Amino acid sequence: MPNRTCPPCFLALLAAILLGGCTVLGPEQQTPALALPAAWSTSPAAAVKSPSPAPDLATWWQQLGDTTLAALVENALAANPDLRAARASVREARARRNLAGAQRLPSLGASASASAARSSKESGSGASSEIYGLGLDAAWEADLFGGLKRGEEAARADLAASEADMVAVQVSLVAEVALAYVDLRGSQARLAIARANLDSQQQTQQLTDWRHQAGLASRLDVEQARSSVEQTRAQIPSLETSRSEAVNRLAVLLGRNPGDLDKPLADALAQTRPLPKLPEQVATGIPAQVLTRRPDLIAADRRLAAETARVGEAQAARYPGLSLSASFGLEALNPADLFSGAAFTRSLLAGLSATLFDGGRLRQQVEIRNAIQEQALIAYESAVLTALEETENALSSLANLKQRVTALQAAEQAAGLAAQLARQRYEAGSVDFQTVLETERTRLTAQDSLAIAQADSVTALVRLYKVLGGGWQVVPASPSPPRDTLI
């Protein structure tokens, strides 16, 4: 009967594993505590209100009340190629995380064999022999100093960073769709203004022709009127180009060929509609909330965590490693005897390995990882500063553009009235035609500037939502998982 008691040395090694497995080398990652302002420097009263951003930012485009924009965003989130590629990257990172976790678990394999041999009569007995076997093999690398654990931590952090990158693509995608849509509606508004002014100037040209025929206006007035008409007409092709480019951009963002949008969307985009209206309130939150909402900052924090874990992984590589393997099987000369007690075989193996001299390679690997971890820390700090700068700039831009729109609205009303009065007085013969031309040019410039400023205001709002991290739903933090009990 075979002795099935483990040798004392094997028990000693197992005890060493259990004791040594409590050691995990390397620093623990912590999000750096940065000095953040308590509030934005731009006065919220001038541009925005500032309640908690979570309820409003997730689907901020719905606040604009534009059903066409909402449909475009929905289609883009379903079919955009960049977002689909980001989802594939997340699947890759998840598989790598699972692979890192699997490396900490034992491996188990099974085998079956049969062999037949016959010796030479010249050099041996010429006898034949057969051997049959069944086996079960197990192997495990003991994580004495936490290298494998740190590797799994790094892979988990990489997965979180990849997920944040995917969210960043989504945030950018929603903003790009909205910006292209604003470009389209802005171009349509400017086209309508140019065409309306073209009609008005053609009427003025016709009036000038009549006055010239009646001897009340000079040929100079006629040519100046015609020049004004053609200058306005020349603006229309470039505005048509901008409109067409915006539609093509939207198609590509939706994962479609240019000019290949679904008919309901294509018809809705072809119709001239006003710009989305600015909401009464915009939720900006406080600077500290940007750290939890902006996906690029979340990704930078998780990459810092991954590089911190890899420092411990490199440190653990400098220490001895221990591997265990075991084999249990059945072996017999006859298949019928395989399951008898005498056919049982086993082997146990514990291997300890350590690097005695490598010219400092492992030490330099630790130094490399420390330097990379420091770079990740600096990158995180830089990303936070950039986020604060972008948000302050977006708030300032929105506030100033709202003031600009208010001033241009007053200017446009005054210019329209001046053009109307100048035309009436020209018909009465109390002013010259140059006054009519100047007031009409001023009116066209004021109307066009107002349309541009209104589009810029909506663009500034979209960019504000983007820099605040709007466009995705923050997932509440789940309770901490139980401590990993794997050695």
Tell me the pLDDT band of 475, cut-offs 50, 70 and 90: low
Q: Is residue 188 a part of any domain in this protein?
A: yes
The mean predicted confidence, pLDDT, of the chain is 86
Q: Is residue 313 a part of any domain in this protein?
A: yes
Judgement on whether residues 15 and 55 belong to the same structural domain of the protein:
no
> Per-residue pLDDT tens for 315-325?
999 999 888 89
Q: Is residue 395 a part of any domain in this protein?
A: yes
What is the predicted pLDDT for the residue at 156? 95
> Per-residue pLDDT tens for 303-319?
999 999 999 999 999 99
What is the predicted pLDDT for the residue at 9? 54
Q: Is residue 206 a part of any domain in this protein?
A: yes
Please state, in angstroms and rounded to a whole number, the distance separating the CA atoms of residues 374 and 364. Answer: 15
Q: Is residue 477 a part of any domain in this protein?
A: no
Q: Is residue 237 a part of any domain in this protein?
A: yes
Tell me the pLDDT band of 338, cut-offs 50, 70 and 90: confident
Task: Look at residue 200 and tell me whether its pLDDT is greater than 80.
Answer: yes
Number of domains in the chain: 2
Closest-CA residue to 412 (of 404, 422, 423): 404
> Per-residue pLDDT tens for 11-28?
555 555 554 455 888 888
Q: Is residue 385 a part of any domain in this protein?
A: yes
Are 114 and 131 within 8 A, CB to CB? yes
Judgement on whether residues 272 and 232 belong to the same structural domain of the protein:
yes
Residue 353 pairs in a beta bridge with: 321
Please state, in angstroms and rounded to a whole number, the distance separating the CA atoms of residues 32 and 301. Answer: 9
Tell me the pLDDT band of 476, cut-offs 50, 70 and 90: low
Q: Is residue 487 a part of any domain in this protein?
A: no
Judgement on whether residues 259 and 380 belong to the same structural domain of the protein:
yes
The pair of structure tokens assigned to 136 is 């079960």
Please state, in angstroms and rounded to a whole number, the distance separating the CA atoms of residues 105 and 457. Answer: 57
Judgement on whether residues 333 and 394 belong to the same structural domain of the protein:
no
337 is in which domain, residue-wise?
A: 1-23+109-142+321-353
pTM, 2 dp: 0.84
Percent of all residues in the chain with a pLDDT value above 90, rounded to a whole number: 49
What is the predicted pLDDT for the residue at 52? 46
Judgement on whether residues 307 and 404 belong to the same structural domain of the protein:
yes
Judgement on whether residues 120 and 179 belong to the same structural domain of the protein:
no
Please state, in angstroms and rounded to a whole number, the distance separating the CA atoms of residues 428 and 435. Answer: 13
Judgement on whether residues 62 and 134 belong to the same structural domain of the protein:
no
Are 329 and 337 within 8 A, CB to CB? no
CATH number for the domain including 18? 2.20.200.10
> Per-residue pLDDT tens for 360-402?
999 999 999 999 999 999 999 999 999 999 999 999 999 999 9
Other Cβ atoms within 10 Å of 479 Cβ, number: 5
Judgement on whether residues 221 and 281 belong to the same structural domain of the protein:
yes
CA torsion, ordered 314, 316, 317, 319, to nearest 10 deg: 150
CATH number for the domain including 182? 1.20.1600.10
Judgement on whether residues 39 and 10 belong to the same structural domain of the protein:
no
Task: Look at residue 218 and tell me whether its pLDDT is greater than 60.
Answer: yes
Judgement on whether residues 39 and 116 belong to the same structural domain of the protein:
no
Judgement on whether residues 397 and 382 belong to the same structural domain of the protein:
yes
Judgement on whether residues 183 and 226 belong to the same structural domain of the protein:
yes
Are 184 and 484 within 8 A, CB to CB? no
